[in-house]
Structure 1
């Protein structure tokens, strides 16, 4: 079975604290549209806010842009947060990605004092590239809600009264 292309949504916002909420709301809307659970959406909102806060606090002396991309697949949502305001070729970035090592400080990634540890805890997969600025790719897999599916199946097999 051939994997189809992901839907891709991209936004560039000023690297200012007041725009972190805009990115959080966007993540919430996209994740809801894809079908993630409330808890997964809340986890993604916190992780994205941490990544964006890092860009706001550390990436630029003054001014600058955060590039946030969302790749929507059937089974997952990949969120890419990049600083330095430059557009990037996700294919070439992916070739140079490595897993996040929370013991290795990458340009002092400790947004809110929790940083990469928190992002790693909340997301299913986190990868980073720090060659020219920071590119952080956070993945959350769509697990579905087994409880609801099982309840539906049980109710269908019970005799009507």
Structure 2
């Protein structure tokens, strides 16, 4: 990952097992709440992180071992939260990396929908920016911008009647 602006960084390493996904969700929920994100954005961030962590649990390791891990890193910047979910698993096949996530088409019967890929589609739909890289495992980097009220703190900007 490239150089980031100065930020507080929180990193958590968890076993790559389903029972620990809720800890990742709780962690980002607390961070986003502390940063001042509204409830709807916090729910979106939790959903995206849960999907990324679930992808690690279900797909990263061929023969899951007790020491398989996922790493959750959060960069708290003034205007955004950047969350990365990383594993040291098998990586993504080249064709999966090139294929952009797409919504389920209404003209396709639900029984014919290919399993997988919906998680990445959901992540893309609720986060402002998403990057997926496959180098020594997979890293999903998700950004949510903090929308602040447009009210100025400068009293010169307020008209006096």
State the TM-score, normalizing by the size of structure 1: 0.72
2:35 is matched with 34
CA contact (8 A) 1:99 1:128 kept: no
Tell whether the 8 Å contact from 1:109 to 1:116 is kept in structure 2 after alignment. no
Aligned counterparts, 1:86-125, within 5 A: 101-102=100-101, 110=116, 114-125=118-129
Aligned residue in 2 for 1:83? 87
2:69 aligned with 1:68: no
CA distance in 2 between partners of 1:57 and 1:140 (Å): 25
CA distance in 1, matches of 2:26, 2:39: 13
Q: Structure 2: any 5+ residue segments left out of the alignment?
A: 90-96, 103-113, 153-157
Compared with structure 1, are the counterparts of its residues 4 and 138 closer, same or farther at alpha carbon in structure 2 (3 Å cutoff)? closer
TM-score by length of 2: 0.72
Q: How many residues align?
A: 133
CA contact (8 A) 1:37 1:144 kept: no
What is the CA distance between 1:4 and its match in structure 2?
5.5
Matched residue, 2:25: 24
SS at 1:28 equivalent: helix
Which structure has the highest helix share of the two? 1
The Cα shift of 1:100 comes to: 8.1
- C-alpha RMSD over aligned residues: 2.9
Q: SS where residue 148 of structure 2 aligns? A: coil
Q: Secondary structure at the match of 1:68?
A: strand
